[in-house]
Amino acid sequence: MVFENNIMNGHHKGWVEVITGSMFSGKTEELIRRLKRAIIARQRVEIFKPYLENRYSRSKVVSHDEKAIRSIMVVKASDILSRARDMDVIGIDEAQFFDQGLIEVCNQLANQGVRVIVAGLDMDYRGQPFGPMPGLMATAEYITKVHAICVRCGNLAQYSYRKSAGRELVLLGEKKEYEPLCRQCYNNTEAS
């Protein structure tokens, strides 16, 4: 991958990478993979997640398949800046739950020469752009869109369909509350 080659060739100048997609698509797993490679390369790495995200652990970022890496919970995006000093790589999980200030935080870190890797949902359960993710994707140097598999037809899924009746924007959940659907299955479900 281009960003990993840049580091290996000594061209580390700072940039933003975004990993995005629906629930159950492997975003956090890919974030952890990239961060562990940076640790192996003896780079100084710190990982952050929003205070709201405590489904699996308060002190770790954990993927649905139970891969984990130590992390720091923060209340707001600006809290990352004071804790990211002297780091080569910053990882941020569940970016959609942060405030809009995350866009400026990521760009400020990248401008300081830090590799910033951000993972988050691109759309909410209604199929609308989610939180700071559109702004992050617009300003990032690298974007990786990952897909889940539609549980109804087996095609690539890009929607996080909420099975429960609740209409609040943020509802932390798992397979009991959400399922990944392709465009056609999502539209068919929303129409019924």
- Enumerate the domain spans of the chain: 2-147
Q: Could you tell me the pLDDT band of residue 152, with boundaries at 50, 70 and 90?
A: very high
- Whole-number Å distance between alpha carbons of 36 and 172: 26
Q: What's this model's pTM, rounded to 2 decimal places? A: 0.85
Which of 30, 94, 141, 177 does the annotation list as catalytic?
A: 94
Q: What is the per-residue pLDDT across 18-50, written as a single tens digit (0 to 9) for each?
A: 999 999 999 999 999 999 999 999 999 999 999
Q: Kindly tell me if the per-residue pLDDT of 11 is higher than 70.
A: no
Query: Which residues 6+ apart lie within 8 Å of 181 measured at CB?
Result: 150, 151, 152, 157, 159, 161, 189
- The CATH code of the domain at 2-147 is 3.40.50.300
- Distances in Å between the Cα of 39 and the Cα atoms of 34, 55, 87, 142, 151 are 9, 25, 11, 20, 35
Active-site residue 29, yes or no?
A: no
Measured distance CA(86)–CA(37) in Å, rounded = 18
